[in-house]
Structure 1
Amino acid sequence: MDELKQLVDDIGRRSYDAQFGKRRLPEVFDAGLWRNLEESGLTRLTTEQEAGPREVAVVLAGLAAHAAAVPIAETDLLAGWLAGQAGLDVPAGPLTVAIGADGVARDVPWPADAAVLLAARDADGLHVGLLDDPQATSGYNLAGEPRGTLSYDTAGLTRLDGAVGEELIRRGAWARCVQIVGAFDSALALTVAHTSERVQFGRTLSKFQAVQHSLAAMAGEIEQARAATDLATAAVADHGFADSRSDYAVTIAKVAVGRAVTPVTTIAHQLHGAIGVTIEHPLWSATMRARSWADEFGSTASYARRLGRWALDASDPWDVLISCP
């Protein structure tokens, strides 16, 4: 695992250094990074390399920490897995998933840079198929990552049970939690470095007690989010994404990570001052990714309500709060 972390860090850092100062809206697909990931066997770890969630988590978090402009989670964990469930062949290269309902799929990641696999959810189940030349509107999230909207019909698509759709959302929610923690780590490292180097009134910012308290609060929020995400990773690794225990653990992680986004990003920008809000500064790429990803595959509030319903329906709500229901 340490060797994998080092490999991902080396690849991500080279891409990060090459893109430094070149960020723009929307983000441009990093073809060089994708080529390096493919050559290293990191783009399809679960579908071709038979790796598990723990290895995938290392890749997702590591690349998120370097603001990688590629659909790494979408290609393998989501589209590759879903295509396997439907018995579909998919092309080589980057993939993405368009999750839709009522004929419209919104916020499709990287629609112009990846082959699009449609996952249409309705009362009859999940309809899956590879789209030929999809016409998606152009847009992007807060971090500048491309997002699009497209219309579709379900004629000729493969029908799967609705439970597959639920697992797809769970996989995406878990992936975003892992990626957000990776972005948090980047934001913390940048903030610690800035406060250790910036001098005001004859001493570095990190010497001021208020700054120390803010850094401690930021680190505490991150570690709480990491603990919940690590629990979810252990659950999906031990039981699989379809298991109810994984469902519970991912729900907890989505709530914990989502609630940490505001304090972590706010403190990071406060301690950086005005420079941290510019697109050229690396902090912007980390914090805006965290804010954008928090609302994907279900909002923090929706998962909190779900956890609350479980507690209300349980014979002993305490069991829901301290263990798997």
Structure 2
Amino acid sequence: MSDELKHLVDEIGERSSAARVGHHSLPEAFDEDLWRVLETSGLTRLTSEQDANPADAAVVLGGLARHAATVPIAETDLLAAWLAGKADQEVPAEGPLTVAVADVEARDGRIVGTAADVPWPAVGPVVLAAMSADATFVAVLDPGSAAGGYNLAGEPRGDLPFDLPLDGVARLPRGVGDELLRRGAWARCVQIVGAFDAAVDLTAAHIRERVQFGRPLSAFQAVQHSLAAMIGEVERSRATTALAIAAANDHGFDSPRADFAVTVAKVAVGRAVAPVTTIAHQLHGAIGVTAEHQLWLATMRARSWADEFGTTGQHATRLGRMALADDDAWNLVVGS
């Protein structure tokens, strides 16, 4: 199924990308036409309603990220619909969803707080995960407002305040919230690798076509070395992300193996973002820094996504604690 799915996603992504040429804006607009195509194709609720596995979800997420799709596909399927199902909360069967995460303390029979940087807050219902020390409170909220907020790539982000009675929300174990964050980190790793692939393709094409001093840029040894370094970082990221995909696919997102693999991937992918995006822009020259250029859509997404669902530093700290807590650190190093 994966090869057919990959072909389908690439075809849809290419068509959507071609239709958006010359229509880039800040903030990015939700692509209603693309969403309708994805929904008709059964790709918007792939894991939550069609029992597809994480490997298939990764094909969709990576492919759409490669084409800079402006739809909350990870937020809808892998996060919001899954969380609503765990909490037995009703959400619309169609249309986009998003998810909000916040730390709270339950006081006086209420949970009060603000979820920061909610992705795509205005496109549809928001499934809230309000996390305390020992519980995850889940509720479905009305769409919020981005209020002009967006990340480096122009994707809408907004803060969402809430004040809810405890008897009006579902109370789940804290571990559910932890799994939600793990799923989000996993999705961002997959999406960043997709954005990396777009950056590599664009950079390789540019240095082949751009002529300087009578020779294509690709003929210069320094350019070749830079491109090789960039690709090396991308492949290191792909390898750790493939481990995370396999762990989630074989053992589930709630397993210790997935926890370890996603943590490793978030560290490796996050550390690759700076060199990959820097080299891509350097090899493109001045044209690469313009918001209108396709490269900007890939690199700025990678930089933005790297800090979501836990920063690289936070995951590196967590990985270090895993190593210290293991009686045999070598087992951790080799992934056993």
TM-score (norm 2): 0.95
What are the within-5 Å matches in structure 2 for residues 11-26 of structure 1?
Answer: 11-26=12-27
CA distance in 1, matches of 2:287, 2:145: 38
2:5 corresponds to which residue?
A: 4
- For the Cα contact (< 8 Å) 1:121–1:165, is it kept in 2? yes
Aligned-partner SS, 2:163: coil
CA distance in 1, matches of 2:189, 2:141: 28
- For the Cα contact (< 8 Å) 2:182–2:259, is it kept in 1? yes
- How many residues are matched? 324
Aligned-partner SS, 2:36: helix
**What residue identity is the alignment partner of 2:68?**
A
1:181 corresponds to which residue?
A: 193
Corresponding position: 1:119 with 2:129: yes
Question: How far off is 1:111 after superposition?
Answer: 0.6
Question: How far off is 1:320 after superposition?
Answer: 1.6
Unmatched tracts of structure 2, length 5 or more? 105-112
CA distance in 2, matches of 1:124, 1:256: 30
2:59 corresponds to which residue?
A: 58
CA distance in 2, matches of 1:206, 1:133: 48
Question: How far off is 1:313 after superposition?
Answer: 2.3
CA distance in 1, matches of 2:327, 2:4: 46
Question: How far off is 1:146 after superposition?
Answer: 0.1
1:202 corresponds to which residue?
A: 214
2:87 corresponds to which residue?
A: 86
CA distance in 2, matches of 1:136, 1:192: 36
Question: How far off is 1:316 after superposition?
Answer: 2.3
2:97 corresponds to which residue?
A: 95
**What residue identity is the alignment partner of 1:119?**
A
Larger mean Cα displacement after TM superposition, 309-318 or 270-279? 309-318
Corresponding position: 1:304 with 2:316: yes
TM-score (norm 1): 0.98
2:107 corresponds to which residue?
A: none
Pair 136,219 (structure 1): closer, same or farther in 2 beyond 3 Å: closer
What are the within-5 Å matches in structure 2 for residues 119-268 of structure 1?
Answer: 119-134=129-144, 137-155=147-165, 156-268=168-280
CA distance in 1, matches of 2:218, 2:146: 47
What are the within-5 Å matches in structure 2 for residues 24-63 of structure 1?
Answer: 24-63=25-64
Aligned-partner SS, 2:136: strand
State the identity %: 67
CA distance in 2, matches of 1:101, 1:138: 24
**What residue identity is the alignment partner of 2:79?**
L
Larger mean Cα displacement after TM superposition, 43-52 or 307-316? 307-316
What are the within-5 Å matches in structure 2 for residues 67-82 of structure 1?
Answer: 67-82=68-83
- For the Cα contact (< 8 Å) 1:118–1:130, is it kept in 2? yes
Pair 320,80 (structure 1): closer, same or farther in 2 beyond 3 Å: same
2:110 corresponds to which residue?
A: none
Question: How far off is 1:135 after superposition?
Answer: 5.1
Question: How far off is 1:150 after superposition?
Answer: 1.2
1:322 to 303, 309, 334: 334
RMSD value over aligned CA atoms?
1.0
User: C-alpha deviations, 1:158-202, integer Å up to 9, x for none?
Assistant: 111100000000000000000000000000000000000000000
**What residue identity is the alignment partner of 1:207?**
A
Pair 63,135 (structure 1): closer, same or farther in 2 beyond 3 Å: closer
- For the Cα contact (< 8 Å) 1:138–1:149, is it kept in 2? no
Pair 250,116 (structure 1): closer, same or farther in 2 beyond 3 Å: same
CA distance in 1, matches of 2:134, 2:175: 11
**What residue identity is the alignment partner of 1:39?**
T
- For the Cα contact (< 8 Å) 2:120–2:146, is it kept in 1? no
User: C-alpha deviations, 1:182-224, integer Å up to 9, x for none?
Assistant: 0000000000000000000000000000000011111110000
